[in-house]
Structure 1
Amino acid sequence: MLAEAGAIAEVAAIAEASAPVKTGAIAETGAPAGVGAPASVIETEVESAWHLAPSQQIQNATQDGNGNEKDDRRIRRVRFIGNQAFSDGELRAIVRTRPNRQFLGIPGLTFWYQLHRIHSRIGEPPSLLDRNVLERDIERLTNFYESRGFRSAVIDTNITFFDRERLEVSFMIREGRQSQIRDVYYSGMPRTGSDNDPVAFFKDSDIVTRAINDTSFHSGVAFTYEEIAEERNRLIAHLRNNGYASVTRDSVIAVVREDTVNALQLDVLFRIFPGRIYTFGDIYVELRGPDGEFERVRRDTLTGPPHAEDPYKTVINVDETARTRTSLIARQLLFKPGTQYDNSAYRNSVNQFQNLGMLVVNQFGHTPDGSLPDFTNEILPVYVRMQTLPKHRIQLDFFGMRRLGFGAGAGIRYINNNLFQGAENFEVGLQGNFEYVSGTLLNSTELSTAYTVQRLNFPFRHLDQTPFFLNASTRYRFSWAQSRQENFTINANFRFSNQFEVRHRPQMASLLDFIELDWLDASATSEFERNLRDRFDEIIVERILEDFNPQFSSIIRYTFRYAMTDLIKRDYGFFSESSIELGGTIPFLMDRFIFDPGDVQGTVPSISLSDSTLTYSQFVRVSFDYRKYTPVLENGTFAWRAFAGYAHAFGVTRQIPLNRRFFAGGSNDIRGWPPLRLGPADLDASAGEVPINGGDLKLAGFLEYRHIMFHNFIGTNWGIAGFTDFGNIWYGTRSAFDEGKFRFDEFYNQIAVGSGFGLRLDWEYLVFRIDVAYRVHDLQRGWFNNSNPYWHFGIGHSF
């Protein structure tokens, strides 16, 4: 055991021998009853009573079917007076005494109650005052304040009668001062195999600042039940990951002591009872086929290093209909029989199985029937039962689209989720769409195939299944596409990519496009070329037509993604994505050292496309995307997004490839403009002022308020939204075109602004939206000079 300071013994003796203090005593960490945790987590003695002056006594009370007394008057408003540490919204979410729902949170606008008055089967019945609920609300608020460290907070109520039908409830709050943790002590913590520096482990705590000795630390942070609970959970996780498998909530107890002089200063002692160290026993794995069959079974028993420590073993039973190699199953196990128990390795193994995508885990435990383990035995066997999914699947997709005009499309995909009996995923897909624009039928076709394995392949194989590189996959994809667009035709576009994806944590992922090769053969339409020659001189025309020369490009790209939100609902938390990429390196090396050593032409020989050479561009591209979602009012969410991106070309070619430029406009971008048709700068694409599409720099911001109006109405939630989008794109410093470049003394006048409102149909796994936007700042007409509506449709929230 680690050495225990004398101060610990003093804290423990006082906590155990003396009578409990008035508002804080011996505690098991957590939150109090009423705010999301069991009442037994922290025991307190709080005397709170509900006192109403005689003039405030509730009259005309009746009883509902449950014996609760209710007043005949409707609750018009609930107020909170005296709260400074917490907002009205935070406190309103705790109490159950509430008025009728208000339309968009506007006081007095009780739309649903008025519907109920028209007909009793619709809308919302009147919200009446319930004395018992009000009394429990006082307890809830008291417990909430105490859990946040306001241990002397006093909650009272005041009821004001407006008339014979309506009343107002006010919660009168005297918060007092928040308690602080002065010192933290740890008693009974064993030295584990990973404790090369035990003080460093304790100092990783969020409630510790500096060490007094090995087990005593100064704190100075605010006292809250959440902080204490997080520290207890951290201690439990550390113990479980170091052999102490039987540790539970009761194994770590927090003792809280008030200072005798200043009651706001608290000392916290964590008393730890780790129990014994456990070892993984034999592992038994059972994999059934898609139909649950388990008759023709192939058994493999793995013994000895590297599979197990003697005399333990891993037994893998696979039904023949599962068509899966036992080596795949063994590779997902991150622990070995006979080694010290590690709960993180145990749980990550479950995630490894689930992420294979070709099976489901039905049971994972320490007993054959899934019951609680027998902790009287120091050896814990592991039992795993799984079942494969159907191997073959065909998926059909139909969709509508509106980009430059209205269109539709369809696609078909064949999916094999276990191609070579090692969880290899193989896909072949064909997709096509058409779009009708100004009397012209545009269309595109794409044929693609992809092969994915659930591990890291060369050159990162050595990182596979290391602690920070779990749940990894390697994907190879090849595609061919043709497309007829408004001003040009893509005769052929071949693309090959090799991508590695690692999910470091459930919310955090890295994607590395290790290599992406793109061969593009495009040609401008003759009408487009004629229009160019009518508007620009020959030098500018040649630079514009460079976009349509046959091209060869290579890209290496790293993307880091961090999301703490529901990616469908997007009603809380945040989402961020950052990426950096380097383009043109492979064709440059071919140009420099193979085809014309010592000389750089900016081209490489073509193999079979329509021109004798292929141009390429060298460039670096970075982007940052951050989105924040904040719940506001009732059933509302305020969302905002910030985006910045920059691409810089270097080398012989001065232009960024078309598919790596930034674009603006559309239903998922700055609404009020068609897709890809805003900018660069104040150039008007519809008037033919844009020499080349896209830009090298993009700045954009998005604001949106979403509010659910009707829950489960005709099978879905109906909501409305109001939004404002702003931003633009610009050419970079190396661009050959002077107009449209980013300039610090002009760019703020070239920010386009679109604003409007929309309808949201919110199913559990799908959001459909319709938006109408107006150009608040039209870059050609100015501010508030364009009253034309622009309609946008989309699946999912715009951001």
Structure 2
Amino acid sequence: MSPKLHTRLFLFFLVLLIVAACSPDKFIPENQYLLEKVRVQSDAKHFDAAQMAQYVRQKGNARWFSLFRIPLSTYSMAGTDTTKWINRTLRKVGEAPVIYDTLQARLSCEDLRMAMNNMGYMNSQVMLNTKIRGKRLTAIYTLHPGEPFTISNFEYDIQDSAIARILASSLHTDSAPRRFIVSDLDAERKRITGILNDSGYYRFNKDFIFYTADSIRGSRDISVTLHLKKYTEHSDAEPTPHPRYIINEVRIVDTNPSKPLLRPNILRDNILIEPQTYFSASNMKNTYNNMARLSAVRYTDIKFREQPKIDSLVIGRMFKYRESALRYLEADIQIIPNAPNTISFQPEGTNTAGNLGAAAVLTYQNRNLFHGSELLSIQLRAAFEAITGLEGYDNRNFEEYSLQTGLTFPRLLSPFLTKNFRRRSKAVSEATVSWAMQNRPEFHRRMFSAAWKYRWNTSTQKTAYNFNVLDVSYVYMPWISQTFKRDYLDNASSRNAILRYNYEDLLIMKSSLGLTYITPRLALRTQIESAGSILSSLNTVLRFPVNAQRQRMLFNIAYAQYLKFDFNITRLIPLDQRNTLALHAALGISWPYGNSTILPFEKRYIAGGANSVRGWSVRELGPGRFKGTDGRIDFINQTGDLKLDLNAELRTRLFWKLDAAAFVDAGNIWTLRNYADQPGGQFNFGRFYRELAMSYGLGIRLNLNYFIIRLDGAQRIINPAYDSSFEHFPIINPHFKRDFRFHFAVGLPF
């Protein structure tokens, strides 16, 4: 480690010690105490006391990374004279000491006891003890939950006969004893309310449901009865059967009646509120969701109006039986359109290895192409880069022109689908076609791709699927310079199978299926992709020609054949209000087989960088023990067929919009075959764990809510590609220039 780095680290830790040493005692009044720590514990081994900490009203001062009370120390550096600017600033940036409040402590005891009662521990108690040391106090809440109460008998008392008939098949009849938990009883009220709201009971709410409970003295068994009252319009009104509502008419309120925004069949598929059906809250919610998916619609407003009573005989003929409480609703659905066409222009600046350039992107969108809310997107991109210092080549620059088109249908387009299935489906169908032309001094490349895809979400919006039915990519190399061929492709001393494969004409025909599951604390993504299997099946019938490498060819091009699987999971564990532990694991494996012995370059894995093992730059790590070519980063060879990433990151909120993180990363990539140009890169189950690279570091994040700007600095711990022990264990023998990396990125790493 360099002397300058030693000095910087010494000064950094010296400042931390000075800040941490500042005492807040001068801000603590006489006979009062700083709340140093809060502990919640239980005398029952089976009871999880940690879950009860949320009911304690007064917490100690915030700790960065759950350890350092830097905000309090910053506040403590201020003087008592608030007329001085520096004192006001330190107080504003820092956090005032939390003074122990006996009233808040007593209220916390009551909240804890009530929370345990709601969990079925009806005889629970809370004891509060305090430990005082100088002007600091630790509050200890000890919970005595006792034994939980159980529901031995559960009954229903439904006073409305029509509702009783509707709910008959939905009531719980299981008589097995269960824990008396208030939240479970409230969930039953919500469940019944939901059933009735979907069965025509427009005005029903859970306040019409209440419970009574009876227990025998000395027993922990409780008999519970759910009561569902009759309808009362106001406090002085007589109870009557609950009114049940029928949708009599649905009117579409369009801003331009002479030219409807959407075709009638599109409205029928997306509006689930229909005449001569009972009111359904779920149908109303799903209608809102369906209309929100349509790019042609800015927003939707649904209003219901109650109509005078309709003749009961007419209703009887419509619904096969007569009910005296039937009423009548009209629905007005107002649809506000989006701007149908948009054009945007975005200039870009580029810098590739010091070569400066510029690019421009022109995008056109039509949000309602066929009056079915189809989204047409056309994107034109042009890029130019001045390439200098490229010896042995004509003085040419880099040019790229591309055209990307996409047509998205907000519905499932497929034959043999029923109307009900289409209406229930939340799928989006998408067709894409793109073409790109790249001209470089070394080569010219043409790329064409076309795909047909489906995307859909489940009703809870937690799970999303994507299905690429068919995705075809074609890469054509019309020209390669003689210098490039001589130095890289034909020269026996530098011949590289992966490199050659990357500069040959290539055809990929693939299909893939992906799943994404996201909750506030868990994110899981997985995808499986198969290429060449359809063509391989056709080959058994059509007998495609074979090239010199014994590969089957279509249109005189050897098609790629591989299987690829990716799995990615992130788990967030809140430690307190300001600190969260994020755990991440990612596994990817690709296997070329059949018509391929090497993966297409863009399908190979890379390691290092801002979202992987951060002690290495992108493409600087792996595969396995491979060190690169002559100690330099090898763009082609530092790729692999298998990838493993393991990350742990402690995230903490600092102040204002600044967050920080301390992290440890581990991982690497490997090849599944033994390639001569990647020595030490092949995966071996018996030693792969010894080839895991590790690094640790700190990061600062500017959290602007809609996006995060991130700067991470990481130091290597273990380097699997080494010539000496000094390189193998940088944690013992650090070298700043060799072993430390900075990363600037947008968004969280995982």
What TM bracket, shorter-length normalisation?
0.7 to 0.9
**Structure 1 gap segments, 5+ residues each:** 1-59, 63-69, 204-214, 289-295, 299-319, 370-374, 566-572, 607-612, 712-716
> Among residues 158, 169, 190, which one is paired with 2:129 in the alignment?
158
8 Å CA contact 1:433, 1:444 repeated in 2: yes
Please tell me the residue identity of whatever aligns with 1:778. Answer: N
Q: Which residue of 2 aligns with 1:93?
A: 54
> Among residues 368, 373, 389, which one is paired with 1:418 in the alignment?
368
Q: Which residue of 2 aligns with 1:113?
A: 75
Is 1:767 the equivalent of 2:708? yes
Q: 1:565-584 CA deviation, whole Å, 9 max, x = no partner?
A: 3xxxxxxx111112122211
Secondary structure in 2 matching 1:136: helix
Shift of 1:694: 3.0
Q: 1:234-266 CA deviation, whole Å, 9 max, x = no partner?
A: 232233333444331123334344355532x44
Correspondences of 1:687-698 after superposition (within 5 Å): 687=630, 692=637, 694-698=639-643
8 Å CA contact 1:254, 1:269 repeated in 2: yes
Q: Which residue of 2 aligns with 1:453?
A: 409
8 Å CA contact 2:254, 2:261 repeated in 1: no
Secondary structure in 1 matching 2:55: coil
> Among residues 255, 261, 285, which one is paired with 2:252 in the alignment?
285
Q: Which residue of 1 aligns with 2:63?
A: 102
Please tell me the residue identity of whatever aligns with 1:230. Answer: A
Q: 1:409-449 CA deviation, whole Å, 9 max, x = no partner?
A: 65332222122322111111234668899966877554311
Please tell me the residue identity of whatever aligns with 1:113. Answer: Y
> Among residues 283, 286, 292, which one is paired with 1:345 in the alignment?
283
Correspondences of 1:265-304 after superposition (within 5 Å): 265-272=221-228, 275=242, 277-288=244-255, 297-298=257-258
Distance 1:233 1:324 in 2: 36
The farther-off stretch of 345-354 and 650-659 is 650-659
8 Å CA contact 1:283, 1:382 repeated in 2: yes
Distance 1:86 1:513 in 2: 48
**Structure 2 gap segments, 5+ residues each:** 1-26, 80-85, 231-241, 308-323, 391-396, 722-726
Provide the aligned C-alpha RMSD in A: 4.0
Q: Which residue of 1 aligns with 2:518?
A: 563
8 Å CA contact 2:200, 2:245 repeated in 1: yes
> Among residues 629, 645, 648, which one is paired with 1:700 in the alignment?
645
Distance 1:765 1:647, change over 3 A: same
Distance 1:71 1:120 in 2: 26
Distance 1:436 1:720 in 2: 39
Distance 1:586 1:676, change over 3 A: farther
Shift of 1:686: 4.8
Distance 1:88 1:82, change over 3 A: closer
Distance 2:142 2:546 in 1: 82
8 Å CA contact 2:41, 2:50 repeated in 1: no
Is 1:177 the equivalent of 2:127? no
Q: Which residue of 1 aligns with 2:329?
A: 380
Is 1:127 the equivalent of 2:94? no
The farther-off stretch of 381-390 and 494-503 is 381-390
The farther-off stretch of 436-445 and 631-640 is 436-445
Q: Which residue of 2 aligns with 1:228?
A: 185
8 Å CA contact 1:478, 1:496 repeated in 2: yes
Q: Percent identity at matched positions?
A: 21
TM-score w.r.t. the length of structure 1 is 0.73
Distance 1:676 1:459 in 2: 45
Distance 1:576 1:417 in 2: 31
Shift of 1:529: 5.2
Shift of 1:101: 2.5
> Among residues 467, 477, 481, which one is paired with 1:512 in the alignment?
467
Distance 1:480 1:226 in 2: 57
Distance 1:397 1:225 in 2: 56
Secondary structure in 2 matching 1:93: helix
Secondary structure in 2 matching 1:328: helix
Q: 1:288-318 CA deviation, whole Å, 9 max, x = no partner?
A: 3xxxxxxx533xxxxxxxxxxxxxxxxxxxx
Distance 1:601 1:187, change over 3 A: farther
Distance 1:136 1:691, change over 3 A: closer
Q: Which residue of 2 aligns with 1:662?
A: 605
Distance 1:728 1:650, change over 3 A: same
Distance 1:729 1:709, change over 3 A: same
> Among residues 421, 440, 453, which one is paired with 1:499 in the alignment?
453
Distance 2:664 2:574 in 1: 18
Q: Which residue of 1 aligns with 2:729?
A: 783
Please tell me the residue identity of whatever aligns with 2:651. Answer: R
8 Å CA contact 1:661, 1:696 repeated in 2: yes
Secondary structure in 2 matching 1:701: strand
8 Å CA contact 2:426, 2:457 repeated in 1: yes
Distance 1:450 1:641 in 2: 33
Correspondences of 1:498-577 after superposition (within 5 Å): 498-505=452-459, 506-522=461-477, 541=496, 544-565=499-520, 573-577=521-525
Secondary structure in 2 matching 1:363: strand
Q: Which residue of 2 aligns with 1:719?
A: 659
Shift of 1:398: 5.9
Please tell me the residue identity of whatever aligns with 1:286. Answer: V
Distance 1:429 1:472 in 2: 24
Please tell me the residue identity of whatever aligns with 2:690. Answer: N
Distance 1:74 1:771 in 2: 35
Distance 1:489 1:419, change over 3 A: same
Distance 1:402 1:630 in 2: 39
8 Å CA contact 2:306, 2:328 repeated in 1: no
8 Å CA contact 1:626, 1:643 repeated in 2: yes
> Among residues 254, 267, 271, which one is paired with 1:329 in the alignment?
267
8 Å CA contact 2:49, 2:143 repeated in 1: no
Q: Which residue of 2 aligns with 1:754?
A: 695
Distance 1:695 1:192 in 2: 67
Shift of 1:92: 3.9
Distance 1:402 1:598, change over 3 A: closer
Distance 1:498 1:195 in 2: 48
TM-score w.r.t. the length of structure 2 is 0.78
Secondary structure in 1 matching 2:277: coil
8 Å CA contact 2:637, 2:678 repeated in 1: no
Secondary structure in 2 matching 1:652: coil
Is 1:742 the equivalent of 2:699? no
Q: Which residue of 1 aligns with 2:434?
A: 479
Distance 2:598 2:166 in 1: 55
Distance 2:747 2:564 in 1: 27
8 Å CA contact 1:587, 1:604 repeated in 2: no
Distance 2:743 2:382 in 1: 22
Shift of 1:496: 0.8
Secondary structure in 1 matching 2:333: strand
Distance 2:184 2:530 in 1: 43
8 Å CA contact 1:465, 1:471 repeated in 2: no
Q: Which residue of 2 aligns with 1:67?
A: none
Alignment coverage as a number of residue pairs: 663
Shift of 1:515: 1.0
Secondary structure in 2 matching 1:678: coil
Secondary structure in 2 matching 1:706: strand
Distance 1:497 1:192, change over 3 A: farther
Q: 1:642-701 CA deviation, whole Å, 9 max, x = no partner?
A: 112222233232222222233322222222223244322221235377875632222221
Is 1:77 the equivalent of 2:40? no
Please tell me the residue identity of whatever aligns with 2:614. Answer: R
Distance 2:136 2:198 in 1: 58
Shift of 1:797: 0.4
Distance 2:568 2:168 in 1: 39
> Among residues 251, 255, 258, which one is paired with 2:215 in the alignment?
258
Distance 1:559 1:647, change over 3 A: same
Q: Which residue of 2 aligns with 1:615?
A: 558
Secondary structure in 2 matching 1:748: helix
Q: Which residue of 1 aligns with 2:119?
A: 148
